[in-house]
Structure 1
Amino acid sequence: MLVPTPSPVLPVHRFWNIANGEYAPGERLPTYNELSALYDVSVTTVQRAVIVLQTRGLVVGLQGRGLWVAEKPPT
């Protein structure tokens, strides 16, 4: 029996508050572990969602410094 895997897009909708202004441009986001607990998803799911958000230009990851909301989101 095939078990459907969760879509990586689902967490993006949960994190959409980044684009809606909950986090200001340039603001540091919670850690992967904190986001995992906040949204009740696995850290792997958070990582996949962050990749999507980075691809869309909404967040910037700085190695060793964390995740930040992009200063100028794409239009």
Structure 2
Amino acid sequence: DAIGAIANAVVARGAQAFGLWPRAGYEFEQSKGLYDEQHFWGLVLDFENQSDLTDQRIKQWCAQIREELGIDAQA
């Protein structure tokens, strides 16, 4: 939920959102961390139930951020 509170505050002040993360694969009842029905405001890690996916998700999200910002992965 904290990611949603922070994101809403900075976007309200003119920041542009990037790094949205799909909600697919997560099981939850509700979250204030959702950007829309399909995405979180950013990477969400579930250490209790899906810790085995943490490293892979971090790598995927970092690659996504580099692409969105036009940063060469080799730089």
TM-score of Structure 1 vs Structure 2, range by shorter chain: under 0.3
Return the TM-score normalized by structure 1: 0.26
Quick one: higher RCO (CA 8 Å, sep 6+), 1 or 2?
A: 1
Return the TM-score normalized by structure 2: 0.26
Whose strand fraction is larger, Structure 1's or Structure 2's? 1
